[in-house]
Structure 1
Amino acid sequence: MTSVINTSSVLPRIDCPIHAHSPLGPFTTFRVGGAADWLAIPRTEAQLLNSLQWAHSLELPTRLLGAGSNLLISDQGLSGLVIVTRHLRQVTFDDDTGQVTAMAGEPLPTLAWKAAKRGWRGLEWAAGIPGTVGGAVVMNAGAHGASMADILVRVDVLNSDATTGAMMPVDLQFRYRTSVLQHRSKPVVRAVFQLEPGYDPKQVTADTLRDLKHRRATQPYHLPSCGSVFRNPLPYTAGWIIEQTGLKGYRIGAAQVSELHANFILNQGGATATDIFRLISHIQGKVLEQWSLQLETEVKILGPFPAI
């Protein structure tokens, strides 16, 4: 059983419970990972700020989790405060500018469907990506040749002094599946995107559904995974390279390379984070041996793991 403290004892005007020794597996799409020393689940921007100030007052490291996709957390858990942002959800559409503003915790598929039903183009590709707005901006999520970098206007982040600052696309230095925010402690609060309004909602919805069906037909959704494990080593795709290396179906413990798409690792039930980490390392080793190619992980690996 986890214990809870109330941060009102530290910051009396804003209440956000902090949970001690809270398991993180339920907050990740892999369904693995140890406990956080402290866990906060804010429901408002004020509570997010409160949580960060509380951690800062105790000199604790902080990490943010959105949907928990694209993430592998050690079986030993994480030190400091982990903040789950998935309840920070609000979306506004500006019909005059064609811009949509979304809070960091808004699920990307939900945002894509909301835009489609209004007849706004620009997010059709995002309906099958299992992440939140904040995480999608940080990693420059994308599919079907499109990405967040194509539509982002501005992102609001929290600075170390607890003020909110704006960052423009040029500040984020977007590259393939990454941005500077992956290496900076600047939590995303909200993002503004430029879409294209004025289309037939039925057609945009149909196009969004088409992209989603394609994704579900070519990628495994029936078991826990993190999404794509490796960045594509262009001009190849990581899935093709792994398949040609003969690793489809390869298994360590309860972690298995998907038979459908080799750039996915599946938790077959009871996998540990260490199983998955060892499988990632095994794939990298075999690809390096056969192709003289170092696969880079797209999944973010947090916490201590055993040496391989």
Structure 2
Amino acid sequence: MAPAPSWPLALRQGVALANFTSWKVGGAAEWLAEPGNQAELVALAAWAQAQAMPLRCIGAGSNLLIADAGLAGLTLCNRRLQGSSLDASTGLVEAEAGEPIPTLARKAARLGLSGLEWAVGIPGTVGGAVVMNAGAQGGCTAEWLKSVRLVDPTRPEAPFDLPAEALEFAYRHSRLQAEAWIVLSARFQLEAGHDPAAITARTSANLHSRTSTQPYQQPSCGSVFRNPEPHKAGQLIEALGLKGLQIGQAQVSPIHANFIVNTGQATAADISALIEEVQRRVMTGRGIALHPEVKRLGFGPGG
């Protein structure tokens, strides 16, 4: 096992990653660190590069399935990499990668900045929202992102910026899903000059709509499958009578069929098997392929 760096960064060994995912599943990280600023993240990436070890970065763990066997190498969790600046006059917003996207949405609303009202119910970080082109209720990250600051783990000494146009955004997709680059921060261009009370009310209404129709009281990852337009994944699954379908302690939510919940002691293998079973039944019953929007780590090549 590689020696830890000599500088005072908190690296830990054998940390259970179940505590870092919203599904509450996943094996241990060989090494885990939670950098508190961009300089620490870059230094840790450089250490991993020098050790020739795998490097992965996670955020809130809300759209993530980590294998029961855990992850080799260094896992960076950016949830401490928080902070944002918002200009009420221009609508320009800059946020660190670990800033919770609901927090940023509320800050924007209080300043009368419109554009992130949809994001208040998404339990993820700014970095994750950029990578996945997160969206809800008719809005998505790509509509408002201006640019992103990145670090390439193979050249961590040279962080760089890319405009949103270079990220190849599509539905729940960005170029970053195929790259090893790590998001450090993001800039958004929102609409300034709105009534803060009106934007706050709209934001709160969006949150109520999500929490009243989705199983927020149980561990889940949010929506499991992308909507195969013009269909809705949840409607397809429900129409086949799959609400409540269970493998081990992983269950298709009785509240919302596009959610898989951990009913107690589910494993990542349980969840993975249930995802595949739902895919099989929807293909057999409707001839439609469901594609997960969940990011999988530790499941083999590319995962």
Q: Hey, what does 2:172 align to over in structure 1? A: 177
What is the Cα deviation at residue 284 of structure 1?
A: 0.6
Aligned-partner residue type, residue 260 of structure 1: I
Q: Hey, what does 2:71 align to over in structure 1? A: 78
Q: Hey, what does 1:246 align to over in structure 2? A: 241
Q: Hey, what does 2:87 align to over in structure 1? A: 94
CA distance in 2, matches of 1:6, 1:52: 13
Which residue of the other structure, out of 140, 145, 155, is the alignment partner of 1:161? 155
Alignment of 1:35-74 (within 5 A): 35-74=28-67
TM-score in terms of structure 1 length: 0.94
CA distance in 1, matches of 2:89, 2:210: 33
Aligned-partner residue type, residue 243 of structure 2: K
CA distance in 2, matches of 1:50, 1:272: 33
Over aligned residue pairs, what C-alpha RMSD do you find? 1.4
Aligned-partner residue type, residue 238 of structure 1: A
Matched, 1:293 2:297: no
Matched, 1:29 2:22: yes
What is the Cα deviation at residue 201 of structure 1?
A: 1.2
Render the CA deviation track for 1:14-63: whole Å, top value 9, x for unaligned: x3121111110000000000001110110011110111011001001111
Q: Hey, what does 2:231 align to over in structure 1? A: 236
TM-score in terms of structure 2 length: 0.96
CA distance in 2, matches of 1:30, 1:189: 25
Matched, 1:152 2:163: no
Q: Which runs of 5+ in 2 are unaligned?
A: none
CA distance in 1, matches of 2:257, 2:40: 40
Q: Which runs of 5+ in 1 are unaligned?
A: none
What is the Cα deviation at residue 74 of structure 1?
A: 0.4
May I ask how many residue pairs the two structures share in their alignment? 298
Alignment of 1:106-117 (within 5 A): 106-117=99-110
Which residue of the other structure, out of 217, 220, 223, is the alignment partner of 1:222? 217
What is the Cα deviation at residue 97 of structure 1?
A: 2.5
SS in 2 for 1:247: coil
SS in 2 for 1:218: coil
What is the Cα deviation at residue 96 of structure 1?
A: 4.2
Matched, 1:142 2:173: no
